[in-house]
Structure 1
């Protein structure tokens, strides 16, 4: 059984979503960033951390990739063209979507107040809007971001979209918006979200 360390109102949620989609057993230790337990496992103090039989794994995308490859779910086979396209989409989401949201968050509350530059926040919102528009184009008419079945990029985008909505960003509507809402309504994501409710 895996142990996920990190509060689910963070990137930890995308890891819980993946575990729920794969039907894997796990326990959740809802630690906040830079808690004593987190610092002992990850010098950066960032969450989530996944505890495995071999030791801890840090970074949400690294954790999700490990789980997908190990259990043969939510991913295309390593070394294939389909996997390369999947990985390209994952990297785009991290570099463009997640990065814009994190820039906004850092200059809203995460950084010490004297280091915040509120003037960058509108730029982060514009960068997010540009990037998610490109994701909509890249998805096109296919059922999921990397083809005919759900894979890790879909889960990452779903979590980022919820983050964006909570931060007051504009998220696309229309058919693409309905598709995003469908990802959020999946039973696995609903089970993951209930863990936030349980913590109050």
Structure 2
């Protein structure tokens, strides 16, 4: 059985959702980043952390990629053109959504107060909205790459949920419909129900 360490309302949501989609059994150990428990498993103290037997894996994207490859679902085969497109989408989402949202979060609550730049949020919201429109323009549907859901979809929908809760604009109709459809998945609902 897999063991997931982290908080549901964090990037651990991606790992939990993937496990729910795969129908895999897991134990959730709710720990905070940089806690003694997190530091014992990951020298950086970051969450999420996945234990698979004696193997301890870190970074949400590495973990969901590992799970997809191991179980042969939500991914294209390594070395295929489709996998290259999937990886490109994943990197785009990390660069253009996750990084923007994380920068806003850091300036809102993570950095020392004297290092925060509250005014940066407006430019980040503008950047996020522009990036979302560009993704909407290349959307294949019903998933990012067409007929097959991949880890890029899990990353994207997690970021859209994060953006919504952070008050970022979600004006693109195509991406809003996509967001709503994927949040309607049973596995997503089960994961959301884990939020305390």
- The two structures, once aligned, show a CA RMSD in angstroms of 1.1
What does 1:143-162 correspond to in 2, within 5 Å? 143-162=142-161
Correspondence 1:177 to 2:176: yes
**Cα deviation 1:119-146 (Å, max 9, x = unaligned):** 211111111111111111121x432112
Partner of 1:127: 127
**Cα deviation 1:59-82 (Å, max 9, x = unaligned):** 000000000000001001111000
What does 1:1-200 correspond to in 2, within 5 Å? 1-139=1-139, 141-196=140-195, 199=196
More helix by share: 1
More displaced 10-residue stretch of structure 1: 173-182 or 143-152: 173-182
Gaps of 5+ in 2: none
Aligned with 2:51: secondary structure?
strand
The Cα shift of 1:147 comes to: 2.5
Counterpart CA distance in 1 for 2:16 and 2:186 is 12
Aligned with 1:50: secondary structure?
strand
Counterpart CA distance in 2 for 1:175 and 1:120 is 27
Aligned with 1:118: secondary structure?
coil
The Cα shift of 1:173 comes to: 4.6
Aligned with 1:45: secondary structure?
coil
Off by >3 Å, runs of 4+ in structure 1: none
More displaced 10-residue stretch of structure 1: 126-135 or 64-73: 126-135
Aligned with 2:138: secondary structure?
helix
TM-score with structure 1 length normalisation? 0.94
Gaps of 5+ in 1: none
**Cα deviation 1:12-53 (Å, max 9, x = unaligned):** 101111110111110100111111010111122111000112
TM-score with structure 2 length normalisation? 0.96
The Cα shift of 1:91 comes to: 0.4
The Cα shift of 1:108 comes to: 0.3
Q: Is the 8 A contact 2:133 2:172 kept in 1?
A: no
More displaced 10-residue stretch of structure 1: 122-131 or 101-110: 122-131
